[in-house]
A and B are shown apart, each in its own frame.
Chain A
Amino acid sequence: MALINASSPHARGPVDTGMVMRQVIYATLPGLAILTLLFGIGTLLNVIWAILVALLCEAAMLRARGRPVALYLRDGSAVVTAVLLALALPPTAPWWLTFIGVAFAIIVAKQLYGGLGMNPFNPAMVGYVLLLISFPVAMTNWVGGAPYRTPYVLESVLQFLGHGPLDGLSGATPLDTFRTFAGNADALDRMIVLHGRWAGLGWEWVNLAFLLGGVYLLFRRVIGWHIPLAFLAGLAVPALIAWQIDPLRYADPLFHLFSGGTMLGAFFIATDPVSAATSSRGRLIYGVLIGILIWVIRTYGGYPDAVAFSVLLLNLAAPFIDYYTRPRTYGHERAKRGAGS
């Protein structure tokens, strides 16, 4: 039987890398707006600066590697890395902090591994973890949020230029506060920062905004539902069980879901198509394990938040997960194990 070419118009997928990346950037805008509203324009400054640094590093590396610079710059993947990293940084981050993180993310974590599509680890999270273990003080210094007022524009600018932490404006995040006082009912009661609607003052709005952006991405089919849903379930279920056992020592599931980087991680970070698992079943496993790891590290680990560490650890495991979750090929029996025959 001859296969006849269907006549035009051929339906062409409207999707290319640049378009996907632009959608991701649009989806971060609500989160960026809320962060700016609550914590001053520090985040906005850092996002713009990070984009500049990322484009510069990307261009330099592409040139050094002899790749077409303009073509790869236009796909916007460097911008997405920069935006995600800058959103994860505290609003008090001075320019050099952002510079080191973004430069490392683009040069080492992305281009040295072979550029877009070749990186085994999420570049933004590699940059974040580099900064977190190298500059722990600067990385845990958050401003704004109750009981502190939002810093003025000038204060944020000074902070960005590296003029020390703002006196009387910076404090610990709700996650950090809960960690410090877990089990101590009186202290937890006195901590104003914990008395938001569900997840500490201000933070529920940040996370809701990222959730909104994430739903937009789902709606536009830029990301699938497997990873975010599994991620959130993996975090909420252990949190629920532990909270039922001892609500004083363990935070409730809503607190976990709506504080720290949960929503940013679930919809924007863990869904990175390059470094995540690929099959549907694999993505469910990948998401659940990230969620569980986040709960474990938040509860028992040495750091208040754990999205970056968990995502990187599961990036490491993604090829392994893929190996054992190969989908059945049409017309063939299910493979016995792993790679099959």
Chain B
Amino acid sequence: MADVDYGKITRDGLWNNNPATVQILGLCPLLAVTGSVVNALGLGLATLVVLMGSNAAVSLIRHYVTDAVRLPAFVMIIAAMVTVIEMLMQAFTFELYQILGIFIPLIVTNCTVLGRADAFASKHALLPAMTDGFMMGLGFLIVLVILGALREVVGAGTLFANMQLLLGPWAEQLRIEIIPNYGGFLLAILPPGAFLGLGLIIAGKNVIDKRMKAAKQRREAPSSSGSRRVRTTGKVS
């Protein structure tokens, strides 16, 4: 096996090939549960663990599964992982489990998970596969949390409300009232707010990408003005 570029895996997962903002995968949970930071964080962590686990398992069995049956096999693995996570959340964060409801079992259908299993884990060794799962999961988690924070601040004027559901009683004091006496802006909490928020995040990422590309071009091709004039006169047939 050739050398694995962990830096590239990291950059792909977090930025260049981010599941949420570049591949636009897993939109169903992304849009549905990001009404607050705690929901986003809960679902993001669950997805991250599932991604790592399924990537690891798929990587381990990659030599024993034939091409014809690989997808059903991967789905079975993912479903098993999700069931484990679901039971863990039921046991330790029951209230959050109730809030997230159907979206926990729906992680099975998150295309990111199956996509990474098929596109990466089934072709790489255990460690790179797990790294990829972790980085992809982290990239997804970060977008979820940013979107959750955006919608929570605009929609309810708070940040990190109800963190005790995920982190235990001490986290109750994490709640920050960004805007006191805020009447609430329902649209941000409602589904349209999710679409608008994700659209803005993707647009923001594209702007940053464009700037970085332009800066890179400037660095690589220093000023060549004056020496490379294009002929603009003459016969045009």
Q: Sort chain B's interface into a size bin.
A: under 10
The answer to whether B196 and A135 have CB atoms under 8 Å apart is no
Give B85 Cβ to nearest chain A Cβ, in Å: 34
- The yes or no answer to B176 lying at the interface (CB within 8 A) is no
Interface positions, chain B 169-214, Cβ under 8 Å from A, are 183, 185-187, 190, 196
The answer to whether A108 and B196 have CB atoms under 8 Å apart is yes
C-alpha spacing A135/B187, complex, angstroms = 9
The answer to whether A134 and B187 have CB atoms under 8 Å apart is yes
The answer to whether B196 and A133 have CB atoms under 8 Å apart is no
Give A93 Cβ to nearest chain B Cβ, in Å: 14
- B196 — which chain A residues lie within 8 A by C-beta? 108
Return the chain A residue nearest B199 by Cβ.
A112
- The yes or no answer to A33 lying at the interface (CB within 8 A) is no
C-alpha spacing A130/B190, complex, angstroms = 11
The answer to whether A133 and B183 have CB atoms under 8 Å apart is no
Interface positions, chain A 43-102, Cβ under 8 Å from B, are 100
Which DSSP category, helix, strand, loop or mixed, fits chain A's interface? helix
Interface positions, chain A 113-163, Cβ under 8 Å from B, are 130, 133-136
The answer to whether B183 and A135 have CB atoms under 8 Å apart is yes
C-alpha spacing A108/B187, complex, angstroms = 14
Return the chain A residue nearest B183 by Cβ.
A135
Return the chain A residue nearest B196 by Cβ.
A108
Return the chain A residue nearest B186 by Cβ.
A134
C-alpha spacing A136/B185, complex, angstroms = 10
- B190 — which chain A residues lie within 8 A by C-beta? 133
Give B192 Cβ to nearest chain A Cβ, in Å: 8
Give B152 Cβ to nearest chain A Cβ, in Å: 15
Which of A108, A133, A134, A135 is packed against the most chain B CB atoms within 10 Å? A134
Give A132 Cβ to nearest chain B Cβ, in Å: 10
Name 13 A/B residue pairs within 8 A (Cβ), A-sorted: A100-B185, A108-B196, A130-B187, A133-B186, A133-B187, A133-B190, A134-B185, A134-B186, A134-B187, A135-B183, A135-B185, A135-B186, A136-B186
- A133 — which chain B residues lie within 8 A by C-beta? 186-187, 190
Q: Known pairs A100-B185, A133-B186. 11 more at Cβ < 8 A?
A: A108-B196, A130-B187, A133-B187, A133-B190, A134-B185, A134-B186, A134-B187, A135-B183, A135-B185, A135-B186, A136-B186
- A136 — which chain B residues lie within 8 A by C-beta? 186
Return the chain B residue nearest A100 by Cβ.
B185
Interface positions, chain A 201-241, Cβ under 8 Å from B, are none
- A100 — which chain B residues lie within 8 A by C-beta? 185
- B185 — which chain A residues lie within 8 A by C-beta? 100, 134-135
- B187 — which chain A residues lie within 8 A by C-beta? 130, 133-134
C-alpha spacing A130/B188, complex, angstroms = 10
